[in-house]
């Protein structure tokens, strides 16, 4: 067992975490500028973490507003170990029991946006760094807590970090689950484009709006119906929703009849764990006599994509023996006077060919008379479980938990570990506790975060002396 003396001050930890949580650090592209590439919220959260590190006497550095780091260890050491956390969060959509940007502690459980993804684990890693320093343990390598601010929207922060800073010897991201994730699926991010069309009809789909982030299952959706028979066809859609026992709200607005439904959010890597509100609404609208372009948009949602979380209808279903099934999440859905767009967040098993999948996807969409606009990919992560760094983390976890020969994990979620030459995801969500990132009333046990901090401090010391 490590010689690191863990003395995490629970009150200080909660105070610092509460201060960080109180910053609504959601990406705001409209307010992005030089020095604040993801808007004011992510920058403020990044600055706060660096301020805390500077307050406590660590070396800190801001990297053009994209990322920053807090560092401890021999300043002249050639190599460093990276611990990669992020302070940006997804929007706090849905109805929360408490203010999502105020930490609420109830029966030992913390509730707030970012408390498990990823401000809570990042703060746990920071307090581990403090414990490591206070222990006086000797290190060969520097330990660098790297803080990103765009993990939820494309990881431009880590791309910039890798442009500006040398690669670490090894690292881990405290942004997933214990015991350890050594393989993460690749990702395809695609936007399906539909043109707006003209034509007369008794009812028009003037607009459709659902979802806020590509990597979230949409928990809300609304459609605006116009035309001389809008009221009649809205009643038809409402009857379909009632038959499916889907709750809805109809509003008469100056623009037309607005029909809104609610779903259930979940992480985009596990779309079957949520209820996609766009699918519910589109299914209720699919029999309406829209003009062809409006109907094509609804058919895409109600027929091609509807609950097809494995990509069967798109022809991209895939499975391997390491990371399991391919998944598809339709996360951001829009239709209006400029046409329509639907985002697809596709998590691809590590043995899948991203090139072949993108070709098949493009072909399938084109056969529907639609097109693919913006498209990006992220290669899968795979680190040999026998890697010395992986073995260190595995052993640390087993010792702290009193376990032997734990089974290492694979994941559909992507973390900053994908931006390391050698790195994995390591906690902070404990086994047998639900991972609630991206969900309403996101929560984690306070004691679990404190235990994670102990594990991280031990891991930092051992990795800090990792043989090259």
Q: Taking the C-alpha atoms of 229, 231, 232 and 238 in order, what is their torsion angle to the nearest 10 degrees? A: 140
- Cα 163 to Cα 62, 63, 229, 310, 419, distances in angstroms: 14, 10, 57, 35, 11
Token duo for residue 226: 């116009």
Edge to edge, what strands does the sheet with 327-336 contain?
248-252, 257-262, 220-226, 204-210, 327-336, 339-348, 186-194, 371-378
Query: DSSP characters for 15-73?
Result: HHHHHHHTS-----GGG-BTTBTT-HHHHHHHHHHHHHHHHTT-EEEEETTTEEEEEES
Show Cβ contacts of residue 102 under 8 Å, excluding neighbours closer than 6 positions.
Answer: 18, 21, 22, 112
Contact predicate 463/81, CB 8 Å: yes
Give yes or no: 88 in active site.
yes
Structure tokens at 59: 């070396």
Could you give the CA distance from residue 16 to residue 49 in angstroms, rounded to a whole number?
9
- Closest residue by Cα to residue 414 from 218, 170, 189: 189
Is residue 143 left, alpha or beta, with left meaning phi > 0 and alpha meaning psi from -120 to 50? beta
In DSSP terms, 109 is beta-bridged to 106, 445
Rounded Cα distance between 395 and 381, Å, is 21
Tokens of 366: 């084109």
d(CA 363, CA 41): 39
Q: Single out the catalytic residue among 88, 152, 184, 219.
A: 88
- Whole-angstrom Cα distance, residue 351 to residue 387? 20
Question: Residue 113: what are its φ and ψ, rounded to 5°?
Answer: -70, 125
**Choice among 118, 151, 175, 177 that is catalytic:** 151
Q: Compute the distance between CA of residue 382 and CA of residue 420 in angstroms, rounded to an integer.
A: 11
Quote the strand ranges of 339-450, DSSP E: 339-348, 371-378, 381-382, 409-411, 423-425, 428-429, 443-445
| DSSP classification of residue 357 | H
3-state class of 10 per DSSP?
A: helix
Nearest Cα residue to 385 out of 99, 238, 181, 194: 181
| Catalytically active residues, by annotation | 88, 151
């Amino acid at each position: 067992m490590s010689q690191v003396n863990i003395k995490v001050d629970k009150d200080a930890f909660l105070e610092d975490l509460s201060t960080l949580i109180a910053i609504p650090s959601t990406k705001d592209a409209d307010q992005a500028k030089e020095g604040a590439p993801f808007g004011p919220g992510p920058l403020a959260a990044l600055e706060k973490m660096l301020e805390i590190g500077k307050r406590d006497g660590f070396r800190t550095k801001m990297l053009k507003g994209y990322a920053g780091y807090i560092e401890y260890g021999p300043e002249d050491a050639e190599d460093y170990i990276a611990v990669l956390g992020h302070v940006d969060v997804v929007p706090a959509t849905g109805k929360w029991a408490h203010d999502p940007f105020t930490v609420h502690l109830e029966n030992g459980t913390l509730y707030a946006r970012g408390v498990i993804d990823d401000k809570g684990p990042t703060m746990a890693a920071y307090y581990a760094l403090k414990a490591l320093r206070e222990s006086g343990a000797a290190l060969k390598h520097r330990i660098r807590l790297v803080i990103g601010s765009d993990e939820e929207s494309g990881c431009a922060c880590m791309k910039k970090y890798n442009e500006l800073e040398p690669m670490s010897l090894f690292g881990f991201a405290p942004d997933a689950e214990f015991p350890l994730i050594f393989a993460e699926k690749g990702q395809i991010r695609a936007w399906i484009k539909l043109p707006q069309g003209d034509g007369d009809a008794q009812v028009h789909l003037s607009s459709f709006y659902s979802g806020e982030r590509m990597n979230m299952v949409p928990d809300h959706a609304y459609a605006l119906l116009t035309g001389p028979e809008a009221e009649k066809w809205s009643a038809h859609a409402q009857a379909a929703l009632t038959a499916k026992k889907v709750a809805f709200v109809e509003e008469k607005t100056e623009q037309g009849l607005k029909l809104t439904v609610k779903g259930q959010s979940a992480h985009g890597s596990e779309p079957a764990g949520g209820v996609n509100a766009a699918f519910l609404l589109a299914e209720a609208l699919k029999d309406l006599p829209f003009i062809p372009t409006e109907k094509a948009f609804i058919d895409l949602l109600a027929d091609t994509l509807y609950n097809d979380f494995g990509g069967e209808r798109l022809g991209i279903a895939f499975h391997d023996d390491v990371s399991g099934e391919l998944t598809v999440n339709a996360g951001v859905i829009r239709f209006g006077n400029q046409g329509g767009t639907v985002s697809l967040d596709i998590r691809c098993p590590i043995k899948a060919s991203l090139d072949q999948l993108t070709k098949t996807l493009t072909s399938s969409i084109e056969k529907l008379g639609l097109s693919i606009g913006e498209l990006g990919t992220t290669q899968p992560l795979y680190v040999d479980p026998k890697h010395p760094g992986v073995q260190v983390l595995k052993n640390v976890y087993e010792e702290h938990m009193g376990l032997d020969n734990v089974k290492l994990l694979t994941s559909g979620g992507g973390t900053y570990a994908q931006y390391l030459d050698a790195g994995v995801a390591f906690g902070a969500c404990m086994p047998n506790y639900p991972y609630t990132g991206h969900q309403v009333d996101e929560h984690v046990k306070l004691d679990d975060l404190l235990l994670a901090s102990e594990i991280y401090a031990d891991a930092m010391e051992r990795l800090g002396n990792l043989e090259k």
